[in-house]
Amino acid sequence: MMGGRQEDAHYDVVIVGAGSAGCVLANRLSADPATRVLLLEAGGWDWNPLIHIPYGARKMFDYGMYQWGDVSEPDPGANSQRMIIPHGKVMGGTSSLNYMAHVRGHPADYARWVEQGATGWGYDDVLPFFKACESWERGADRWRGGSGPLGTWTPKEMDPIGAGWFAAAKALGHPATDDYNGAQNEGFGKIQYTIRKGRRDSSARAFLRPVLGRKNLTVVTRAIATRVLFDGTRAKGVEYRRKGQTHVAHAGQRVVLCLGAINTPHLLMLSGVGPADHLREMGLTPVADLPVGQTLEDHLAFPLLWRRKQPDPFHRKLRIDRIAVNMLRAQLFGNGPAANLPGAVVAFLKTDRALAQPDFQLVIPLAAIESNIWFPGINTPGNGTICAKVNLLSQKSRGRIRLRSTNPMDRPRVFYNSLTDPDDMATMRRAYYITREIGEALPMEPFRQEPILPPRHLTDEAEVDAFIRANATQQYHPAASCRMGHDADAVLDPDLSVKGLQGLNVVDASAMPHLIGGNPNVVIMMMAARVAAMWAG
Ligand SMILES: Cc1cc2nc3c(=O)[nH]c(=O)nc-3n(C[C@H](O)[C@H](O)[C@H](O)COP(=O)(O)OP(=O)(O)OC[C@H]3O[C@@H](n4cnc5c(N)ncnc54)[C@H](O)[C@@H]3O)c2cc1C
């Protein structure tokens, strides 16, 4: 615990979850010294150097560190796989263990948000908040911010294969973009990371740590919220467990749920806010009948792989003795290969040029996070592979989240329902053909050998579909599970208050009207900054 006294259980605002959204909100709402803010977080502090050293992301993922351990129900559309659903349980939430890609999505995403009832969330409305959040290394311009808390950096070192991808895309008439978060989202570009001075900029590092000294801000870690407490339809506080004890934190103004797209609907339903029939079936008395957890989205993806011709240059740096020294160097000085990850290529592309915005994303990791540490004489590195991961950005299939039981410690059931809408498979199939064509174009020949996944060129539609179903996985971007909007599926009003209730807000990935076309971390941070300004009037 840091900040105010724990026994003082009365606050103006209680924020649950110190993740991408929660840390930004704690920063913004405690800026007014008259507002007493409590931030509750289920995980512990982010002391582990693996969180801060960029290469550490790979190791944390491999060892399943700081996660809730969720796995989906068998997903019939993806050969009944149970998908892993990693999301963070530590200060900074998932922004402390994600892969740090900094992506805003396309302006048309926000036009769609407004169409869906999210008044005040068009691109012109949100742009000032994106800019205020970030420190783009090339400085401020019409699109980018130069002095915000969140560092944003493009790797300087590029695997030579990157040039092959850019040339292949150009040869086939695909656009390139110098800054996919700037004037032009569409096209092939270099990845931007939320890294500052060789260290991950999580929301905890960028937004929370600088304000920990505020007397009106209390942070309690290892505190698991189990229920929102109501007085009629007004949220009056949160019950939570810590070290085997049950506590209550009262909120005079508002309770803000920032638990992420899986845990926020879980806590709402445990508190009686959700589909009334499901709540009654579980033995709960509904406080509000709302479609909580009914419109879950994620980005479905599948990889294409080829064998590389030349050794991957980054892989050589992963020899056990070299990477050990480089991890230490990154920890002490914030430099060297473990801090300065080599660049990745990302592309936002359309399967039909007439579309208003890209409908799939290619992520081409170029070594870095995908490479593994090796031991001389035991597992010497081969040349490695060339990987292009195809992410579906325009998913129409919707999943849902249900209670497993009324015990808050039991994890909820997550049904992805992948590829239940036939348009999703049609888009993924077209994206497969396009990606294959780029990967096998002439400029890639100096770098590429035979295909590995799939091992031969698939032309038959049924074969392509079977390949996609067998290799599809969700991309760890769950969202829109308590969406804002004005239709029957919406749970939140545009100020992110829960419909029909007072004093209760949801600010995290679950609040998106639909999942934007890209990686969502900075979008969620923007949402927190934007809504804090709305509440301030
Ligand atoms: C492996 C991986 C890689 C990713 N890579 C990228 C990337 O490169 N770029 C990108 O933009 N996005 C990426 N993402 C996704 C992105 O990081 C998340 O979408 C985003 O961080 C979610 O933010 P949030 O605020 O909604 O929730 P979170 O950041 O998950 O925060 C929720 C917080 O609430 C806490 N909490 C939950 N339940 C309780 C409870 N009952 N009581 C108290 N506290 C609770 C959690 O412990 C957590 O700290 C990645 C995700 C993963 C898993």
> With a 6 A CB cut-off, is 94 part of the ligand 1 pocket?
yes
> With a 6 A CB cut-off, is 68 part of the ligand 1 pocket?
no
What pLDDT is stored for residue 323 in this prediction? 80
Within 13 Å of residue 38, how many CA atoms lie on the same side as its CB? 32
Q: Among 154, 97, 157, which residue's Cα sits nearest to residue 314?
A: 157
pLDDT tens figures, 342-379: 788 999 999 999 999 999 999 998 764 456 777 777 77
> 381: how many CB neighbours lie within 10 A of its CB?
17
Q: To the nearest whole number, what is the mean pLDDT of the chain?
A: 94
Instruction: Pick from 103, 150, 259 the residue to mutate for probing ligand 1's pocket: most ligand atoms within 8 Å of its CB.
Output: 259
CA separation for the pair 71, 57 (Å, rounded): 20
Instruction: Pick from 63, 98, 201 the residue to mutate for probing ligand 1's pocket: most ligand atoms within 8 Å of its CB.
Output: 98
> 356: how many CB neighbours lie within 10 A of its CB?
11
Instruction: Report in angstroms the alpha-carbon separations of 454 from 313, 347, 457.
Output: 25, 21, 7
CA angle 418–423–429, rounded 5-degree value? 85
Does residue 3 surpass a pLDDT of 50? no
> Are residues 374 and 318 in contact, defined by beta-carbon separation less than 8 angstroms?
yes
Whose alpha carbon is nearest atom 15 of ligand 1?
477
Confidence of residue 156 (pLDDT cuts 50, 70, 90): confident
> With a 6 A CB cut-off, is 503 part of the ligand 1 pocket?
no
Catalytic residue at 477?
Answer: yes
Ligand 1 atom closest to Cα of residue 40: 43
Centre of ligand 1 to C-alpha 375, Å, is 33
Instruction: Report in angstroms the alpha-carbon separations of 521 from 1, 116, 175, 214, 512.
Output: 26, 21, 25, 25, 12
Can the peptide bond before residue 454 be classed as cis, meaning omega within 30 degrees of 0?
A: yes
Q: Which residues face 254 on adjacent strands?
A: 13
Determine which of 25-39, 120-134, 268-282, 363-377 has the lowest per-residue pLDDT on average: 363-377
Burial of 500 (0-12, 13-18, 19+ CB in 10 A): middle
Element (H, E) at 237: strand 234-242
pLDDT tens figures, 58-81: 889 999 999 999 999 999 999 999
CA separation for the pair 183, 186 (Å, rounded): 9
What pLDDT is stored for residue 369 in this prediction? 46
Centre of ligand 1 to C-alpha 260, Å, is 6
> With a 6 A CB cut-off, is 67 part of the ligand 1 pocket?
no
Whose alpha carbon is nearest atom 3 of ligand 1?
98
Residue 300: left if φ>0, alpha if ψ -120 to 50, beta else—which one?
Answer: beta
> With a 6 A CB cut-off, is 195 part of the ligand 1 pocket?
no
Instruction: Pick from 58, 87, 219, 370 the residue to mutate for probing ligand 1's pocket: most ligand atoms within 8 Å of its CB.
Output: 87
Instruction: Tell me the mean pLDDT in the region 315-342.
Output: 81
What pLDDT is stored for residue 333 in this prediction? 84
Does residue 339 surpass a pLDDT of 70? yes
The more confident residue out of 159 and 300 is: 300
> With a 6 A CB cut-off, is 18 part of the ligand 1 pocket?
yes
Instruction: Tell me the mean pLDDT in the region 459-464.
Output: 96
What pLDDT is stored for residue 381 in this prediction? 66
Which candidate in 106, 278, 477, 514 is catalytic? 477
Classified as helix, coil or strand, 395 is coil
Say what the pTM is: 0.96
Query: What are the strands, taking DSSP E only, across 89-186?
Result: 134-136, 150-152
> With a 6 A CB cut-off, is 509 part of the ligand 1 pocket?
yes
What pLDDT is stored for residue 299 in this prediction? 97
Instruction: Pick from 23, 51, 84, 94 the residue to mutate for probing ligand 1's pocket: most ligand atoms within 8 Å of its CB.
Output: 94
Whose alpha carbon is nearest atom 14 of ligand 1?
98
Does residue 396 surpass a pLDDT of 90? yes
> With a 6 A CB cut-off, is 66 part of the ligand 1 pocket?
no
> Are residues 343 and 170 in contact, defined by beta-carbon separation less than 8 angstroms?
no
Ligand 1 atom closest to Cα of residue 508: 26
Whose alpha carbon is nearest atom 46 of ligand 1?
89
Burial of 285 (0-12, 13-18, 19+ CB in 10 A): exposed
Ligand 1 atom closest to Cα of residue 520: 11
What pLDDT is stored for residue 370 in this prediction? 54
What pLDDT is stored for residue 327 in this prediction? 82
Q: Which pairing describes strands 224-231 and 300-308: parallel, antiparallel, or unpaired?
A: unpaired
Centre of ligand 1 to C-alpha 487, Å, is 26
Burial of 248 (0-12, 13-18, 19+ CB in 10 A): middle
Instruction: Tell me the mean pLDDT in the region 50-61.
Output: 92
Task: Provide CB contacts within 8 A for 209, sequence distance 6+.
Answer: none
Classified as helix, coil or strand, 223 is coil
Ligand 1 atom closest to Cα of residue 89: 47
Ligand 1 atom closest to Cα of residue 240: 42
Does residue 86 surpass a pLDDT of 70? yes
Centre of ligand 1 to C-alpha 57, Å, is 14
Does residue 165 surpass a pLDDT of 60? yes
